[in-house]
Homo-oligomer: A and B are copies of this chain.
């Protein structure tokens, strides 16, 4: 399974000519999971060559305009594309009123089912290969941070071990790989654990903006491959960050270090910063694997072997 992250909007509050409003796409085997949907997201998806028809679910962190005002327009455009399967929208309490209210004001009805679910934290959605959880972050209004997690995959099939146990090559290999016990011609039973290596961990991506640095996000992000975190301010503006319920890049880097994540992507960058370098340098002093998000940045998340 390929997992690829595309930053659609790395700005916050006010869009600039280089930073659109917040949105992050997680591409996963041809499906797109969208986190936040600021104004302009549908155009950014076109720019990133992501098909709107592939959107599986949209996860909204909170009901501030910069994170959500692209949603009604995105739904309208999706309504022009052939689609039968449902679209899922998840977000904090109030997301349903927002979507339904705008549908009513604009007299627009999607031709496919739109299923809206409000969450206060916990398991948000799941299928056979991935699951998404949320925790409340710390912002000026109720805000969710999300983890996107691939399920654990069975361990590698140890062909040598299977041969040693006398399993004949062929369909029995497949059944063992799929987790079934098999009975050999001589009546011996072979269990999957005898021929499979240790289970391979699933990949984990955490999206946490807008938020002050907080314990809940640090826990959610535990050993994530990628933590995408609010890094709106440089460290000299930490009192402003606190007052506005955001994080500095240094605070975000401390969360990354504490959560032992693979790497940190700082986003929701204030429009005051013209250069990434100084922000990145501040974060890297605390957590070297830090970078500043840019619009259309792509991050491949390699599979565990």
CB closest chain-B residue, reference A47: B17
CB distance from A171 to the nearest CB of B (A): 49
- Binary interface encoding of chain A residues 25-54 relative to chain B, with 1 for a CB under 8 A from any of its CBs, else 0: 000000000000001101100110000000
The digit string for A67-87, where 1 denotes a CB below 8 A from any CB of B, is 011101100110010000000
- Least distance between A264 CB and chain B CB atoms (Å): 28
A66 at the interface (CB under 8 A from B): yes
- Chain B residues with Cβ below 8 Å from A302 are none
Q: Is A141 an interface residue (CB 8 A)?
A: yes
Kindly identify which residue among B46, B66, B107, B141 contacts A76, using a CB–CB cutoff of 8 Å: B66
Contact of A46 among B17, B73, B101, B107 (CB under 8 A): B17
| Chain B residues positioned under 8 Å from A97 (CB to CB) | 105
Is the C-beta of A102 less than 8 angstroms from some C-beta in chain B?
yes
Cross-chain contact of A65 among B43, B65, B73 (Cβ < 8 A): B73
Of the candidates B21, B64, B80, B101, the one whose C-beta lies within 8 Å of that of A14 is B80
Q: In whole Å, how far is A30's beta carbon from the nearest beta carbon of chain B?
A: 22
* Inter-chain contact B13/A107, CB cutoff 8 Å: no
| Residues 96-120 of A at the B interface (beta carbon under 8 Å) | 97-98, 101-102, 105-108
Chain B residues with CB under 8 A of A73: 15, 21, 39, 65-66, 69
- Judge whether A289 is part of the interface by a CB distance below 8 angstroms: no
- A265–chain B nearest beta-carbon distance, Å: 23
Instruction: Report chain B residues within 8 Å CB of A130.
Output: none
Q: Which residues of A contact B (CB under 8 A)?
A: 13-17, 20-21, 39-40, 42-43, 46-47, 63-66, 68-70, 72-73, 76-77, 80, 94, 97-98, 101-102, 105-108, 141
16 A-B residue pairings within 8 Å (CB atoms)? A13-B76, A14-B77, A15-B77, A16-B43, A17-B43, A17-B46, A17-B47, A39-B40, A39-B70, A63-B105, A63-B107, A64-B107, A65-B106, A66-B76, A69-B72, A94-B105
Which 10 A-B residue pairs are closest in the complex by CB-CB distance?
A98-B105, A39-B73, A69-B73, A65-B76, A65-B106, A101-B101, A15-B43, A14-B77, A40-B40, A65-B73
